[in-house]
Structure 1
Amino acid sequence: MHAAVVFLTAAMIGFVMGGLVFLHGESVPAAVAAGLVAAGGSLLVLHRLIG
């Protein structure tokens, strides 16, 4: 259950960041890259916060 909450929250953060980058006027690949970096970077933080 813990892993599911961490991964879903990280995915939500990634989607939000990617959407914001895309709405700012950047290209789709840049938005996807920003979303992946945000999701990946938040995994360890979320694991420590929620764990």
Structure 2
Amino acid sequence: MEEQNRNNFKFGFTEGAENWNGRLAMIGFVTALIIELVSGQGLLHFWGLM
């Protein structure tokens, strides 16, 4: 049986999808925190949605 590299990016429901989903979620969360710290506003206020 051939072992798959879970870090390869492939579309669809693959074994590595959970890894990529988690990584992108962490990047988004850190980006939202940085915007809050720099602007002094929440993310929705920064974008003018509230």
Q: TM-score when scaled to structure 2?
A: 0.52
Higher relative contact order by CA 8 Å / sep ≥ 6: 1 or 2? 1
Structure 1: state its 5+ residue gaps. Answer: 32-51
Q: Output the aligned Cα RMSD.
A: 1.8
Computing the radius of gyration from Cα coordinates, the structure with the larger value is 2
Aligned length: 31
Identical residues among aligned pairs (%): 26
Structure 2: state its 5+ residue gaps. Answer: 1-14
Runs of 4+ aligned residues of structure 1 deviating over 4 Å after TM superposition are: none
